[in-house]
A and B are shown apart, each in its own frame.
Chain A
Amino acid sequence: MADSPFHLFGIRHHGPGCACSLLQALEALNPDCILVEGPPEGQALLEWLRDPELVPPVALLVYDPKDAREAVFYPFAEFSPEWQALRFGLERGLPTRFFDLPVAHRLALDASSEPLVEDLEASETAAEDPEEPSEAGTEDPDNEQRRDDPLDWLGRAAGYSDGESWWNHLVEERGDGLHLFAAIREAMTLVREESGDDHWTAHRREHEARREAHMRKLMRQARKEGFERIAVVCGAWHVPALAELPSATADNALLKSLPKRAVEATWVPWSYPHLSTASGYGAGIASPGWYEHLWHSAPERRAIGWVAQAAQLLRAEDLDCSSAHLIEAVRLADALAAMRERPQPGLDELDEALRTVVCQGEEAPLRLIHRALVIGERQGRIPDQTPVVPLQRDITERQRAVRLKPEASRKTLDLDLRKPTDLARSHLLHRLSLLGIDWGEVQRTGRSVKGTFHEVWTLQWEPRHALAIIKAGRWGNSVEEAATRRVIDAAEHADTLPALCELVDRLLLADLQAAIVPVTRRLEDQAAVAGDVPQMLGAIPPLTSILRYGNVRQTDSGLVAHVLAGLVPRAALALPGACTALDDEAAGAMRAAIQGADRPLRLLQDAEFEQAWSQALMSLAESATCHALIGGLAARLLFDAQQADLETTARRLSLALSLANDPAPAAAWLEGFLNQSALVLLHDPSLWALVDDWVAGLSEEHFVRVLPLVRRAFSAFAPAERRQLGERARRPASVAPLAMADTAIDLARAERPIPLLQRLLGLAP
């Protein structure tokens, strides 16, 4: 091969040692053309590498504009050999090309072969799942090499626990030059020969063969164009297949008339957590942060630099870490490396030294180091002018306007909705979540102690959001426009009331003024024709919460009040009818619906609503035809709302549990009445007395008959609650109230400490 123009460099994706050696090798070779494993669709985007605003880690995203779920990411870090090779080529103005199989074919092939997928391994089908647009699903080609990593075989043969540490030690943590690639090639040739074809499925093998055929095709093309020193940078695994170029016929046959899809490509920011294997990225690496450190620091300063970083981190977290600690940690790491016969400490040694010296054997600080240093939290940047969907540009602008930076680390944000900036932030986050871009997640709102004007979000920007933005791009070019259209569209397709109500709720949160009228109109229409009582009931809680909390957000909730005014009386009227002839399952659902609607309605304190609602419950409680579970619940709710006095309720209880009734309905009634709330029973003396009196008043025969029913009704409570109930029952029923009544308060004595208390509380004059 002495006269061959090709120089093959087998690398491992994202290996800093490889990148370092590769640069040396390229310097020595001075190539006139560089071929890099990567999608040809990204060719036009390579120019952006000259832009200083493009800061790795970034990923090349190739997607189908018609269906953005079909997409492939090619992530690059600064220390990725491919990245360095690309930069090398561009800086010198060399023809630099991607030569992998075009994604256009890959996507089309994956789609067309779907019916065949059934006989493949389950894990593979899962990895190709089109429903899941995350990095795990569609990504760099090597996700299967991880499961069956040839490096693992070599590593184990060399006596290491896994391929990762073997490779780290031999390649990434050393500064070998040109011999490295010859060695890698030899090793891979051997592994490929040994492994044969067994370790991949037929489908996968075919795919790999096509990729390699395409690589060879472009290599031939480059040779034909007359280049004399062609550097070929590809995954180590492919090197043996590219070493010889057989006649073009076989390759052309493989590549003939492949199906094709229209695809587009762009740069998206990537992050270290997503580069790590923990994120599910197939060609991921265990320690991106450590690799970056390897790439930047000279070998002799490596350990010191690393522990110094760790110290900074620990001090920022208020953990004790002095320079003396660091000196000892470096010494211990050196001693460990010497014991293990390594030329210098690697990540393992440094980890153990930090654990022993600095963390005093504890795990927690070490986990912090692992998250923040070993993996790292670095996030890439792309230039503003990169070709992106207009929506992406608008989102970036909005993010800037409200001063929210997309960050890969998880962050909590407490918004005070009375402040204009925070309100704008809240609107933006709600709009994005309406568009399916779940950058932020609401932790809790309103009901916390802080009051209704707080909203707590957890923010975490993930690269997959770039895909979600592209997908949402079809709704419009600005966030507001897109979200409005999306909501109106969703409203038109929503056919249940609760879903519509939730939409109304969300659009008010997102402050989409333009959507309010069409969506509430749609809600009114639906509400007017809806005959399904559980649905109507289900619509009540979200609508009431809009009414109650609307003011804080300065949204117009008058429309909602109007809808509610029509909905509540209709639901109340239809309720008794809807509760007859229910089977147990439907009764359970109805119970949940009634319970869900009861509390918000009472909280509204609207006399009209309350009256209608109580009337409905009253007729349920007295009805003989309604399902017993509902009857019991209605009796209880009325009792709680003080719409029915003790006597009436006691009568209802006794009636429902009389001997003449069938046991099953009686038990259901009791269950509904107890309403899954042992605590209320425990702490409400009148309710307790009610149940207690009833049990005490039973004749022996009756008691024996109803005992199983009572047991069944109580079985839904937690064991601790049952125990407390038992303890409560052991005490005489009337002890607590009596004790209070007996204590005659001596006013003169009670007044004595008041001056002192006033002084303590600062109330004294």
Chain B
Amino acid sequence: MNQILRQHAEQSFAEELDALKQSDNRQRPPNWAMSPWAVATYLLGGRLDNGFEVSPKYIGSRRLIETAIATLTTDRALLLFGVPGTAKSWVSEHLAAAVCGDSTLLIQGTAGTSEEQLRYGWNYAELLSKGPSTQALVQSPLMRAMEQGKIARVEELTRIPADVQDTLITLLSEKSLPVPELGTEVQAVRGFNAIATANNRDKGINELSSALKRRFNTVVLPLPSSADEEVAIVSKRVAELGRALDLPAEPPALKEVQRVVRIFRELRNGQTEDGKTKLKAPSATLSTAEAISVINNGVALAAHFGDGVMRAGDIASSLIGAIVKDPVQDALVWREYQETVIKERGDWKDLYRACRDHD
């Protein structure tokens, strides 16, 4: 039994990556592990010539993924933009895993991210005893990616303070990182590029300067366009997570998944699917990722405290928790939804009762 809670993309999908590499005979950009076509197949799924089935990692617009991959072949870095929970980091991880076989050259952006974390730092004990030397240098993931011609990932770019973001401007255009203390520089090897993710909904973000924006091609990842697509995403991810987290329960009932997705979509769009009733929208984002976590919670509850089959009662509490983020406003929104929509749907009686129990 593997002790790692969550494996990297290149580990959990190693088999698929290998199969793709073997059957891939198209032109590869320098230092890429596979051709852009193979990367697209890896992300979007498909059947290889030898019959090997590649599972889809991203369910959605093919054009977006193609644009993202094509961007990585050019000079520009890729910026994945979107509301929270639209698979930005997920896509970024899988792109890096497929393009260079390594999704770990990662900078997790926070408000406290400093310039050293983007460029390089020093091992101070070494620095004091021996003076500046390559041994004393602590390389950032970005620097390593440049040296090795790999893809660096910057998560939550907009959380990084604006002055630290500026480090990236010349780095991304000159493709070199000078180390004045040693009188040297690191020049990026072919194959180097960066994928950044940022969300455009959250509070407290540092707006990107237009100079930095110009270094990036922006791909906006949308919320799923149809209910069916969203159900597919949620079911698939829950099954995978269940596997990763060793949940012994039955695969989640499709009916429950559909219900959760429907509730989320209706609240997000501010009206019921049939377009007949107008609804108040809650303050929470209600992304697909939230739906996945609700279902996952339900599966865990059913496995550990129930009979293993997920029922309305198992999802009710996490459902309410996901929707009611503001105890006053959202509670009102949810109560209204519960009384006007859930109650009226004949086959949703069980969910109504379960939700009522939580009041």
A336 CB contact (under 8 Å) in B67, B75, B218: B67
From B76, which residue of chain A is reached at the shortest CB distance? A328
Q: A325 to chain B: which residues have CB within 8 Å?
A: 214
Find out whether the CB atom of A332 lies under 8 angstroms from the CB atom of B217: yes
Considering residues B66, B69, B210, B217, which has the most beta carbons from chain A within 10 angstroms of its beta carbon?
A: B217
Find out whether the CB atom of A335 lies under 8 angstroms from the CB atom of B73: yes
From A356, which residue of chain B is reached at the shortest CB distance? B217
Known: A328-B217, A339-B36, A361-B220. A352 touches B67 (CB 8 A): yes
Q: B81 to chain A: which residues have CB within 8 Å?
A: 360-361
Find out whether the CB atom of A361 lies under 8 angstroms from the CB atom of B70: no
Q: Which of B7-49 contact A (CB under 8 A)?
A: 36-37, 40
Is B74 located at the chain interface by the 8 A CB criterion? yes
Q: Which of B160-201 contact A (CB under 8 A)?
A: none
Is A106 located at the chain interface by the 8 A CB criterion? no
Q: A322 to chain B: which residues have CB within 8 Å?
A: 214
Find out whether the CB atom of A360 lies under 8 angstroms from the CB atom of B74: no
A242 to B102, CA, bound (A): 63
A356 CB contact (under 8 Å) in B36, B40, B67, B73: B67
Distance to closest chain B CB from A363 (angstroms): 9
From B216, which residue of chain A is reached at the shortest CB distance? A360
From A348, which residue of chain B is reached at the shortest CB distance? B63
Find out whether the CB atom of A356 lies under 8 angstroms from the CB atom of B69: no
Find out whether the CB atom of B74 lies under 8 angstroms from the CB atom of A328: yes
Find out whether the CB atom of B75 lies under 8 angstroms from the CB atom of A339: no
Q: Which of B295-352 contact A (CB under 8 A)?
A: none
Find out whether the CB atom of A332 lies under 8 angstroms from the CB atom of B66: no
Find out whether the CB atom of B70 lies under 8 angstroms from the CB atom of A357: no
B interface, by DSSP: helix, strand, loop or mixed?
helix
Q: B218 to chain A: which residues have CB within 8 Å?
A: 356-357, 360-361
A336 to B74, CA, bound (A): 10
Considering residues A325, A338, A340, A360, which has the most beta carbons from chain B within 10 angstroms of its beta carbon?
A: A360
Find out whether the CB atom of A324 lies under 8 angstroms from the CB atom of B214: yes
Find out whether the CB atom of A328 lies under 8 angstroms from the CB atom of B75: yes
A458 to B214, CA, bound (A): 38
**Per-residue 0/1 for A350-368: is the Cβ within 8 Å of any B Cβ (1 yes, 0 no)?**
0011001100111000000
Known: A356-B219, A357-B76. A332 touches B71 (CB 8 A): yes
Is A207 located at the chain interface by the 8 A CB criterion? no
Distance to closest chain B CB from A424 (angstroms): 47
Q: B37 to chain A: which residues have CB within 8 Å?
A: 339
A566 to B5, CA, bound (A): 93
Is B213 located at the chain interface by the 8 A CB criterion? yes
Distance to closest chain B CB from A554 (angstroms): 51
Known: A339-B36, A361-B220. A352 touches B213 (CB 8 A): no
Is A331 located at the chain interface by the 8 A CB criterion? yes
Q: A361 to chain B: which residues have CB within 8 Å?
A: 81, 218-220
Q: A356 to chain B: which residues have CB within 8 Å?
A: 67, 71, 217-219
Q: B70 to chain A: which residues have CB within 8 Å?
A: 332, 335-336, 338-339
Contact residue range for chain A?
20 to 34
A275 to B81, CA, bound (A): 36
From A329, which residue of chain B is reached at the shortest CB distance? B217
A445 to B144, CA, bound (A): 67
From A351, which residue of chain B is reached at the shortest CB distance? B63
A325 to B74, CA, bound (A): 12
Is A320 located at the chain interface by the 8 A CB criterion? yes
A361 to B81, CA, bound (A): 8
A357 to B217, CA, bound (A): 5
Find out whether the CB atom of B66 lies under 8 angstroms from the CB atom of A340: yes
B40 CB contact (under 8 Å) in A335, A339, A353, A360: A339
A360 to B217, CA, bound (A): 7
Known: A320-B210, A361-B81. A336 touches B66 (CB 8 A): yes
Q: B220 to chain A: which residues have CB within 8 Å?
A: 361-362
From A337, which residue of chain B is reached at the shortest CB distance? B70
Q: B66 to chain A: which residues have CB within 8 Å?
A: 336, 339-340, 352
Q: Which of B83-111 contact A (CB under 8 A)?
A: none
Known: A328-B74, A331-B74, A335-B74. A360 touches B213 (CB 8 A): yes
Q: B74 to chain A: which residues have CB within 8 Å?
A: 328, 331-332, 335
A368 to B142, CA, bound (A): 37
Distance to closest chain B CB from A405 (angstroms): 37
A336 to B219, CA, bound (A): 14
**Per-residue 0/1 for B230-248: is the Cβ within 8 Å of any A Cβ (1 yes, 0 no)?**
0000000000000000000
A339 to B35, CA, bound (A): 9
Q: B36 to chain A: which residues have CB within 8 Å?
A: 335, 338-339
Distance to closest chain B CB from A578 (angstroms): 43
**Per-residue 0/1 for A306-344: is the Cβ within 8 Å of any B Cβ (1 yes, 0 no)?**
000000000000001010110010011001101110000
Distance to closest chain A CB from B75 (angstroms): 7
A414 to B280, CA, bound (A): 41
Q: A348 to chain B: which residues have CB within 8 Å?
A: 63
**Per-residue 0/1 for B201-225: is the Cβ within 8 Å of any A Cβ (1 yes, 0 no)?**
0000000001001100111100000
A328 to B77, CA, bound (A): 11
B69 CB contact (under 8 Å) in A339, A357, A360: A339
Q: B71 to chain A: which residues have CB within 8 Å?
A: 332, 335, 356
A357 to B214, CA, bound (A): 8
A189 to B114, CA, bound (A): 69
Distance to closest chain B CB from A22 (angstroms): 32
Distance to closest chain A CB from B37 (angstroms): 7
From B72, which residue of chain A is reached at the shortest CB distance? A335
A279 to B69, CA, bound (A): 36
A352 CB contact (under 8 Å) in B40, B63, B75, B76: B63
Q: A335 to chain B: which residues have CB within 8 Å?
A: 36, 70-71, 73-74
Q: A352 to chain B: which residues have CB within 8 Å?
A: 63, 66-67
Distance to closest chain B CB from A541 (angstroms): 36
**Per-residue 0/1 for B51-77: is the Cβ within 8 Å of any A Cβ (1 yes, 0 no)?**
000000000000100110111011110
Distance to closest chain B CB from A249 (angstroms): 55
A324 to B214, CA, bound (A): 8
Q: B217 to chain A: which residues have CB within 8 Å?
A: 328, 332, 356-357
A353 to B218, CA, bound (A): 10
**Per-residue 0/1 for B111-145: is the Cβ within 8 Å of any A Cβ (1 yes, 0 no)?**
00000000000000000000000000000000000
Find out whether the CB atom of B67 lies under 8 angstroms from the CB atom of A332: yes
Distance to closest chain B CB from A315 (angstroms): 14
Distance to closest chain B CB from A749 (angstroms): 43
A724 to B127, CA, bound (A): 72
Find out whether the CB atom of B40 lies under 8 angstroms from the CB atom of A332: no
A589 to B290, CA, bound (A): 55
Q: B76 to chain A: which residues have CB within 8 Å?
A: 328, 332, 357
Distance to closest chain B CB from A369 (angstroms): 16
A320 to B63, CA, bound (A): 25
From A333, which residue of chain B is reached at the shortest CB distance? B70
From A335, which residue of chain B is reached at the shortest CB distance? B70
A620 to B93, CA, bound (A): 80
Known: A339-B37, A339-B69, A352-B67. A331 touches B75 (CB 8 A): yes
Q: B75 to chain A: which residues have CB within 8 Å?
A: 328, 331
From A353, which residue of chain B is reached at the shortest CB distance? B67
**Per-residue 0/1 for A707-735: is the Cβ within 8 Å of any B Cβ (1 yes, 0 no)?**
00000000000000000000000000000
Q: A340 to chain B: which residues have CB within 8 Å?
A: 66
16 additional A-B pairs beyond A336-B67, A352-B63, A356-B217, beta carbons within 8 Å, are A328-B74, A328-B75, A328-B76, A331-B74, A332-B76, A335-B70, A336-B70, A339-B36, A339-B37, A339-B40, A339-B69, A348-B63, A356-B71, A356-B218, A360-B81, A362-B220
Which 6 interchain pairs have the tightest Cβ spacing?
A361-B220, A335-B70, A361-B218, A360-B218, A356-B217, A336-B70
Cβ contacts A to B, 24 pairs, < 8 Å: A328-B74, A328-B75, A328-B217, A331-B74, A332-B74, A332-B76, A336-B70, A338-B36, A338-B70, A340-B66, A348-B63, A352-B66, A352-B67, A353-B67, A356-B71, A356-B217, A356-B219, A357-B76, A357-B217, A357-B218, A360-B81, A361-B81, A361-B219, A362-B220
Interface, chain B (partner A; CB < 8 A): 36-37, 40, 63, 66-67, 69-71, 73-76, 81, 210, 213-214, 217-220
